[in-house]
């Protein structure tokens, strides 16, 4: 989606210094996350340019607090600039910290993350891109351990992952007493394999729902379910 500022309906995301640009995964998670009335404290892990944190700020109630953590200094600077220009500069706080070292006086009702997921594949030459895409600085167990430390007893964790990594994440999460309560399969087209798995997990392990979203219905046209999910954000819907 390019390196220029990406304009949404209520905010824009500058990304010239961001490790990763605005993409479908981030928009999907930010729009899909279930935000409940009592979600006063929300945490986004690995916020990058601040995209998901800003989407959550748009959706959460006015007095909610959105914290976001990021390890890369350039991304932190970019995210803080994006937040400062947004309608919610007092609602969103960007923290320069690895999640493993992050602490909060208040536990969170909701934690979201578009985490790194390449654990064994060849790393890209750019070190920043490597850290963002490869699970060296944030492994799945690190994310899950941090979630159990920072989440309320009734809170939820929401992530987006490639399908096979998502299944692996579910298996690992059981060891941390986190269980899926909501799953959405994402395909680019009805005839294509599942590309992404959106997951919401909690400590209760309630009966879970499962759904599917297809990006393109016919040709390059977005499907009605994708447009319905993202219409509060994209300008062209």
The neighbouring-strand residues paired with 67 are 43, 93
Residue 1 predicted with pLDDT over 50: no
Classify residue 8 by burial, with Cβ atoms within 10 Å: 0-12, 13-18, 19+: buried
Summarised one tens digit per residue, pLDDT across range 130-153 is 444 434 478 999 999 999 999 999
- Dihedral (Cα; 138, 117, 196, 68), 10-degree rounding: 20
Say how many C-beta atoms besides its own lie within 10 A of residue 121's C-beta. 9
Distance CA 163, CA 156 (A): 20
**Which DSSP state fits 40?**
-
Residue 84 predicted with pLDDT over 60: yes
Summarised one tens digit per residue, pLDDT across range 32-52 is 999 999 999 999 999 999 999
pLDDT at residue 206, as a whole number? 77
Parse the chain into domains and list their residue ranges: 6-230
Residue 189 predicted with pLDDT over 80: yes
Of 3-7, 116-120, 192-196, 206-210, which has the strongest mean pLDDT?
Answer: 192-196
Better-predicted residue by pLDDT, 25 or 117: 25
pLDDT at residue 205, as a whole number? 87
Provide the CATH topology of domain 6-230.
Rossmann fold (3.40.50)
Distance CA 106, CA 97 (A): 17
Under the banding of pLDDT at 50, 70 and 90, the label for residue 164 is very high
Under the banding of pLDDT at 50, 70 and 90, the label for residue 19 is confident
Is residue 44 within 8 Å of residue 104, measured between CB atoms?
no
pLDDT at residue 18, as a whole number? 83
Distance CA 130, CA 122 (A): 9
Stretch among 24-28, 77-81, 126-130, 225-229 having the lowest mean pLDDT: 126-130
pLDDT at residue 174, as a whole number? 97
Average pLDDT of the chain, as a whole number: 91
């Amino acid at each position: 989606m390019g390196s220029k500022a990406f304009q949404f309906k209520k905010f824009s995301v500058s990304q010239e210094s961001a490790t990763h640009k605005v993409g479908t995964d981030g928009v999907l998670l930010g729009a899909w996350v279930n935000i409940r009335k009592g979600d006063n404290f929300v945490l986004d892990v690995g916020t990058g340019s601040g995209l998901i944190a800003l989407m959550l700020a748009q959706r959460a109630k006015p007095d909610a607090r959105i914290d976001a953590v990021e390890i890369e200094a350039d991304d932190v600077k970019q995210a803080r600039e994006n937040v400062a220009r947004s309608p919610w500069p007092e609602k969103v706080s960007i923290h320069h910290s690895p999640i493993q070292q992050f602490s909060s006086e208040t536990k969170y009702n909701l934690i979201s993350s578009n985490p790194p997921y390449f654990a064994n594949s060849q790393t890209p030459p750019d070190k920043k891109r490597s850290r963002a895409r490869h699970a060296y600085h944030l492994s799945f167990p690190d994310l899950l351990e941090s979630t159990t430390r920072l989440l309320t007893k009734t809170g939820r964790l929401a992530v987006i992952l490639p399908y096979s990594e998502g299944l692996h994440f579910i298996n690992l999460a059981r060891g941390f007493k986190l269980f899926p309560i909501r799953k959405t399969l994402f395909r680019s087209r009805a005839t294509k394999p599942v590309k992404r798995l959106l997951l919401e997990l909690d400590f209760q392990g309630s009966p879970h729902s499962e759904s599917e979203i297809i990006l393109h219905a016919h040709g390059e046209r977005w499907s009605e379910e994708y447009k319905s999910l993202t219409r509060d954000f994209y300008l062209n819907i």
